[in-house]
Amino acid sequence: MRPATPNRTLLHTALQLDAATSGVMGVLLVLAAGTLADPLGLPEPLLRGAGLVLLPFALAVAHAGTRRVVPRQAALAILTVNLLWVVGSAALLVGLAPSPSPLGFAFVVVQALTVLGFAEAQWIGLRRSSRMAAA
């Protein structure tokens, strides 16, 4: 009997990296929200709340990313949440929330671009998976 081989599609890889990054960021924001609030110029409850949102999201993404076949609806839901996160980050920067410090601005931009990159990789991976299933 051959051992199972890990999934190595782009979609699986994008989901697994997204899960790991979201989990690390969630833990950081939950544990260090008070320390990060002043230098980032962002309210502690906003940072801690974002961390608390990221933790279950990371678990759900990790679960999807370890499935032999990623359910299309799960991948689309994760992609949608990622895009909403980017929109929320942009809203934060255009003044719909407290104005961040320059370091906070850079922090929000970098994390939003990272999430956008995951969303793009997930979209491409999802399209490739759909083509492979149709073939």
- The pLDDT score that the predictor gives to residue 5 is 42
Average pLDDT of every residue of the chain: 91
Residue 2 lies in a domain: no
- The pLDDT score that the predictor gives to residue 3 is 40
Residue 1 lies in a domain: no
pLDDT for residue 133 is more than 50: yes
Can you tell me the distance from the alpha carbon of 95 to that of 66, in angstroms, rounded to the nearest whole number? 38
Q: CA-CA distances (angstroms) from residue 115 to 2, 17, 52?
A: 36, 10, 17
Q: Return the percentage of the chain with pLDDT > 90, whole number.
A: 84
Residue 76 lies in a domain: yes
What mean pLDDT comes out for the span 2-7?
A: 44
Can you tell me the distance from the alpha carbon of 41 to that of 99, in angstroms, rounded to the nearest whole number? 7
Residue 98 lies in a domain: yes
| Structural domain boundaries, residue 52 | 10-134
Name the band, by pLDDT with cuts 50, 70 and 90, for residue 7: low
pLDDT digits (tens, 9 = 90+) for 61-79: 999 999 999 999 999 999 9
Residue 47 lies in a domain: yes
- How many structural domains compose the chain? 1
Residue 88 lies in a domain: yes
What mean pLDDT comes out for the span 112-125?
A: 97
Q: What is the pTM of this model?
A: 0.88
